[in-house]
Amino acid sequence: MVGNRSKPTLSAVTAETTLVSSRSLSGIVEYEPSEFTFTAMAGTTLNEINDTLRDKRQYMPFDPLLADHNATIGGTLAAGISGPGRHRYGGVRDFVLGAQFVAGDGQLIQSGGKVVKNAAGFDIPKLLVGSCGRFGAITQLTFKVFPRPQGIQTYQVRCSDHAMAATVIAAAARGRWELDAIDYSAKTRMVWLRISGAAEISQAIADDMQRVGVADSLTRVDSDQAALIWQQLGSFEFGPELDCVAKVPTTLRQMIGLADWCDTSKHAAVLHNSVAGAISWIALSQHDLDDFDTYLRETEVTGQLMRGPRAPDGRLVIGNRGINHIESAIKHAMDPVGRFPIFER
């Protein structure tokens, strides 16, 4: 099952596999602003949902990526990717409430619920997060949403090196300020902090962060430049020659290692770290893929390519395989007839 293929590596399957498009499964089925929930068909674009929510001063706090590339809500869940806003309230896994999908045996499954709190039965909607369509054809999803902040300001901290960036990130994330996003561009050595609320409140918080020594200088970024910064990540715009984009979950220490690897890579790979260290987006040339794979294996880190060719040996993951024996048993439970491709670790 594919949407608008904004993360094409995930649906690069063998020739004998039939692709089914969710493009016609589009539209918001229910939206209850007072309930903080909406239900949309899987092929509904993020743009449509964002526009609808914005009219009611609400938003998806996990800040889904690739809206400009017509990414769909189903693809966002299946890929399991969240944007910088994940830092404040959680990721796509934390906001999905219910999932309707067609299992491999043709049965229509209605899992989860449509209310913000539900502890009945197994949490199958969460299992679908990151499953890359390998468990079933997702047809409809229900999400929790939140009130949209009154405003968002971006501040930047210039760092001398990656280690300093990690120190700034850790201090900013641990403090009392409840930042909306904490990202780092390794190429420019710039930490970006997003603070929600009215402009004067954001400024007071930034001043206090500077006062207590999170960084010597927090500089406010004007709104046009801020929009550009966040849009570059949101659209995976890392440079025309960097044809691969990988998501690599990291600790801060692993982020530093990856940033160092990018600095010495043959074709000038770049790292954009998101969510205060937790997600490293690596953009690289496919000529660097083998080296990248080797580095991840050596450091026992697992990544996933969203754009570009599959991993050197054709797997969905890159680097450490993280083989998990239960996954094949779960796959068999979800898809007993083997209708969908397997998740090749």
Partner 1 sequence: MNTPTADLQSLCHRLPPGRFHADAAYQAAFESDGLTAFRQRPLGVVIPECEQEVIEVIRWCYEQSVPFVARGSGTSLSGGSMPVADGIVISLNRLNKIIHVDPDNRIAVVQPGVINLHVSAAAARHGLYYAPDPSSQKICTIGGNIAFNSGGAHCLKYGMTSNHVIGMRVVTATGEIVNLGGPTLESIGPDGTGLFCGSEGLFGVALEITLRLLPKPECFHTVLVGYRSLRAAGDAVSAVIDSGLLPGAMEIMESLAIQAAEAATACGYPDGAAAVLIVELEGPREKIAAEQQQLDAVIAATDAFETVVAADDQQRAAIWAGRKSAFSAVGKLSPDFLVQDGVVPRKRLGEALERIEKLSLASGLRVANVFHAGDGNLHPLILFDDSIAGQLQQAEALAGKILMMCVEMGGSITGEHGVGIEKRDYLPEMYDVSTIELMHRLRAAFDPKTIANPGKMFPGADAPALLTHGLHPLEKAGVISRE
Taking the least distance from each CB to partner 1, the nearer of 266 and 332 is 332
One-letter identity of residue 321: R
Residue 146 interacts with partner 1 (CB under 8 A): yes or no: yes
- Pick from 23, 52, 69, 114: which binds partner 1 (CB under 8 A)? 114
Taking the least distance from each CB to partner 1, the nearer of 24 and 117 is 117
Using CB under 8 A as the binding rule, the residues of this chain from 161 to 220 that contact partner 1 are 166, 170, 173-178, 197-198, 201, 204-205, 208
Q: Count other Cβ atoms within 10 Å, centred on residue 233.
A: 21
**Secondary structure, 3-state, the chain:** CECCCCCHHHHCCCCCCCCCECCCCCCEEEEEHHHCEEEEECCCEHHHHHHHHHHCCEECCCCCCCHHHCCEHHHHHHHCCCCCCHHHHCCHHHHEEEEEEECCCCCEEEEECCCCCCCCCCCHHHHHCCCCCCCCEEEEEEEECEECCCCEEEEEEECCCHHHHHHHHHHHHHCCCCCCEEEEECCCCEEEEEEECCHHHHHHHHHHHHHCCCCCCCEEECHHHHHHHHHHHHCCCCCCCCCEEEEEECCHHHHHHHHHHHHHCCCCCEEEEECCCCEEEEEECHHHHHHHHHHHHHCCCEEEEEECCCCCCCCCEEECCCCCHHHHHHHHHHCCCCCCCCCCC
Report which of 42, 232, 56 is spatially closest to residue 136, judged by C-alpha positions.
42
- Pick from 72, 185, 250, 265: which binds partner 1 (CB under 8 A)? 250
Taking the least distance from each CB to partner 1, the nearer of 211 and 240 is 211
Residue 13 interacts with partner 1 (CB under 8 A): yes or no: no
Residue 299 beta carbon to partner 1: minimum distance, rounded to whole angstroms:
13
Taking the least distance from each CB to partner 1, the nearer of 45 and 75 is 75
Using CB under 8 A as the binding rule, the residues of this chain from 261 to 280 that contact partner 1 are 275-279
Using CB under 8 A as the binding rule, the residues of this chain from 31 to 90 that contact partner 1 are 32, 34-36, 57, 80, 82, 86, 89-90
Using CB under 8 A as the binding rule, the residues of this chain from 21 to 40 that contact partner 1 are 32, 34-36
- Pick from 20, 27, 51, 118: which binds partner 1 (CB under 8 A)? 118
Residue 322 interacts with partner 1 (CB under 8 A): yes or no: yes
Taking the least distance from each CB to partner 1, the nearer of 18 and 107 is 107
Residue 302 interacts with partner 1 (CB under 8 A): yes or no: yes
- Pick from 152, 245, 334, 340: which binds partner 1 (CB under 8 A)? 334
Residue 120 beta carbon to partner 1: minimum distance, rounded to whole angstroms:
5
Residue 224 beta carbon to partner 1: minimum distance, rounded to whole angstroms:
25
Number of residues that bind partner 1 (CB under 8 A): 86
